[in-house]
A and B are shown apart, each in its own frame.
Chain A
Amino acid sequence: MPILLLALLPVPPKLTGDSGRVDKAQRKTNADAVQAVFDLVLAPLQQVVLEGTVMDCADGKTRRCFPILSARIADHAEHAALHGIGSKSCPKCEVPSKELGGNPRKIYEARDYTLYWEKAQEQESGEAGIAEYFQQVGVKIGHNVFTKLYRPNPVDLHKPDLLHNIYLNRFKHMMEWLEGFLKKHKRQQAFDDAWKEIPPYPGFSVPKRAYREVTQWHGMEMRNLGRCISAVLASAL
């Protein structure tokens, strides 16, 4: 997969923390700047989507293609910034922030970004009650970058993210709970000992230090952890 560097995003100035009003204005400017950069980057796609363009094909022929944006790969904070939603909202569906840890089988209504766009327009023309609606569904910016694109559905642009979601975040959380659990049952030492004594195996790098001695975790180490954690825990308990 070739990766082409198109643009570097602007780094926003730090919030001063002196007054709420200034910080709020600064946050708004930051959000607008990021949205504007993405508008600029995605602008060439707009025309091409409507008219199509001629591209070389692998079989030697040239074909008319309609390239559309198919994925946006980013971590959750970046998704939230561009989709214009709050940090505790899901980009895919309208799950209330209080029910995030609830039943995974429960299905919530999928987000409709076109509707938000319409609502934002209504809000500009002075309609009341829109702000409450936005707050209820966790939307911060009604006009976001993706509602301006013709073809893709913004809901489908959001992709699950293994590195941040599983390795760095969820394993980290899990280890925090587990540490508390081990501490309560006084099995920390047993866990560390089991951790150090994992035998080498092809495709698996053996941890050199005891679990509690490691200060910083990388994605790769977390993946290793995922492979051996249940065995280590089983022998520690």
Chain B
Amino acid sequence: MALKSVGVLADFSLMTQYRSHTLDTLGYMERYLQTFHQTKDIFLEFRTSKSTRAEVNPQDRELWRLMAKQIAQEAHHISAAQRRRQADQNRLQRVNWRADLIQRENPFNFIKIYCLSHFVSHVRRFGSILRYSTEMGELAHKEQIKEGYSRSNKNKLPDRSCRTMAASTPWE
């Protein structure tokens, strides 16, 4: 399950790097995303935030105490086997309840996971995603600004770096 989830996520991101797409590849991308959302729950417990854990754990302990108390009360009129069965049942109930609570908080609520669902429609309208990456801008930041800065005499900086870069671009 975990392997599948990671696999589809990796496949999806490899596909976003394609330079051109066909209807088939877009279909694959949609399916990968769908599969990821179906299988992501395996990672649910590693994804919970501190605040959620802080809320869930005490409640879990409280429930455990209640259940233990109940069993202790009934201890003298049921047999050991029955007691064990009851304890197992309680444990299962607790695990389910805990998973439910975490599910309700939905720890996969973050913007970057949602943005992925716009990727396919973007390709349909504007073409390959690769050329809209910020990498180009980040690189330009390094080349133009940082190197421009180290070459300059550190006076009137913003003004100067804009001017020198505008003068040295191959554009003009």
Chain B: interface residue total (CB-CB under 8 A): 58
**A103, A173, A174: the one within 8 Å of B37 (CB):** A103
Is B133's CB under 8 angstroms from A163's CB?
yes
Given known contacts A8-B145, A176-B46, A178-B2, is B114 in contact with A100 (CB within 8 Å)? yes
Of the A-B pairs whose beta carbons lie under 8 Å apart in the complex, a sample of 7, sorted by A's number, is A2-B169, A3-B169, A8-B162, A76-B115, A101-B114, A163-B133, A181-B42
Is A8's CB under 8 angstroms from B161's CB?
yes
Given known contacts A100-B111, A166-B13, is B136 in contact with A71 (CB within 8 Å)? no
A42 to B80, CA, bound (A): 79
Stretch of B50-58, B64-72, B82-90, B117-125 at the chain-chain interface = B117-125
Is A98's CB under 8 angstroms from B109's CB?
yes
Is A161's CB under 8 angstroms from B46's CB?
no
| 9 shortest interchain CB distances as A-B pairs | A101-B108, A180-B46, A177-B43, A159-B132, A104-B117, A100-B114, A162-B133, A5-B165, A230-B7
Is A169's CB under 8 angstroms from B112's CB?
yes
A128 at the B interface (CB under 8 A): no
A105 at the B interface (CB under 8 A): yes
Is B46's CB under 8 angstroms from A234's CB?
no
A7 at the B interface (CB under 8 A): yes
Smallest CB–CB gap between A168 and chain B, Å?
9
A180 to B166, CA, bound (A): 49
Smallest CB–CB gap between A128 and chain B, Å?
30
A171 at the B interface (CB under 8 A): yes
Given known contacts A101-B114, A229-B10, is B161 in contact with A5 (CB within 8 Å)? yes
A237 to B137, CA, bound (A): 39
Given known contacts A2-B169, A3-B140, A5-B140, is B6 in contact with A230 (CB within 8 Å)? yes
B134 at the A interface (CB under 8 A): yes
Is A165's CB under 8 angstroms from B7's CB?
no
A57 at the B interface (CB under 8 A): no
**A1, A98, A237: the one within 8 Å of B3 (CB):** A237
**B40, B108, B134: the one within 8 Å of A161 (CB):** B134
